[in-house]
């Protein structure tokens, strides 16, 4: 079965040439354009989530023999969460080849975080079904390589660290205040200010989830505290 030029280019970015291109097509088919003869990618998403999870868990387990379960769990969650899957999808241009219905396309579906994350997991499943676990594992490790290398830093929960510091100082938990929001619903941009009982404030802004911007604000406050304890 022939494969279109855009899917061939995507396969190259992904790092896998499909012997069964129909698997890739299905992995890229959103429910908004699915039909009785054109199934969507939800079943593949279910499988791909498990393939990704096992690959990442194994990689973390092997990389740090001294790490406890309590240290491994937040690293794992950082690497398999939807935001990370969507970020990887953006890096390989997955949104450009997603098959969407007209309404979903017009509403910015190619940039929606949830759609990208789900399709990324479905693509991983397609590689697994096309060539087996070792090949799928290799694709995941290649795409996640930089994140695996930096996961100990990325997995630090700044909000928890800041709350623990505030409590140690006899303060109430930090307050997170949304001071601005802009952009479309599918790609909102937030500005968040974190405030402590002693009047200190730090702010962060950017696109993503509200929680991710709160984490950035907490990180900024921790840096401020380190400079002026």
Q: Is 45 annotated as a binding residue?
A: yes
Cα 15 → chain centroid: 19
Phi, psi of 175 (to 5 degrees): -105, 135
The catalytic residue among 49, 104, 130, 214 is: 49
User: Which of 40, 104, 113, 121 is the catalytic position?
Assistant: 121
**Alpha carbon distance 14, 17 (integer Å):** 9
Residue 121 annotated as binding site: yes
Burial 133-171 (b: 16+ CB within 10 A, else e): eeebbebbeebbeebbeebeeebbebbeebbebbeeeee
Q: Reply yes or no on whether 49 is catalytic.
A: yes
143 half-sphere exposure, CB direction, 13 A CA radius: 32
Provide the terminal-to-terminal Cα distance of the chain, rounded to the nearest Å.
65
**226 labelled as ligand-binding?**
no
**Number of Cβ atoms within 10 Å of the Cβ of 89:** 22
Tokens of 4: 């279109």
206 φ, ψ to 5°? 155, 180
With 0-12 / 13-18 / 19 or more C-beta atoms within 10 angstroms meaning exposed / middle / buried, residue 56 is: buried
Residues making up the annotated binding site for Mg(2+) are 45, 118, 121
Catalytic residue positions, numbered: 49, 121
Residues making up the annotated binding site are 45, 118, 121
């Amino acid at each position: 079965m022939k494969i279109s030029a855009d899917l061939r280019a995507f396969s190259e970015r992904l790092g896998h040439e499909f012997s069964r291109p129909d698997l890739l097509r299905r992995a890229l088919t959103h429910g908004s354009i699915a039909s009785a003869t054109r199934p969507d990618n939800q079943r593949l998403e279910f499988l791909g989530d498990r393939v990704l999870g096992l690959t990442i868990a194994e990689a973390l387990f092997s990389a740090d023999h001294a790490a406890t379960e309590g240290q491994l769990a937040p690293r794992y969650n950082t690497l398999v969460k939807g935001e990370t899957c969507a970020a990887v999808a953006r890096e390989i241009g997955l949104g450009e080849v997603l098959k969407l219905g007209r309404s979903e396309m017009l509403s910015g579906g190619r940039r929606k975080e949830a759609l990208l994350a789900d399709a990324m997991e479905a693509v991983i499943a397609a590689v697994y079904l096309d060539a087996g676990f070792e090949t799928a594992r290799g694709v995941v490790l290649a795409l996640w390589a930089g994140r695996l290398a930096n996961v100990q830093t990325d997995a630090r929960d700044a909000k928890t660290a800041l709350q623990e510091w505030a409590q140690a100082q006899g303060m109430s938990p930090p307050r997170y205040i949304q001071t601005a929001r802009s952009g479309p619903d599918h790609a909102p941009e937030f500005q968040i200010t974190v405030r402590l009982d002693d009047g200190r404030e730090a702010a962060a802004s950017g696109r993503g989830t509200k929680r991710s911007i709160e984490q950035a604000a907490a990180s900024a406050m921790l840096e401020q505290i380190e400079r002026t304890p």
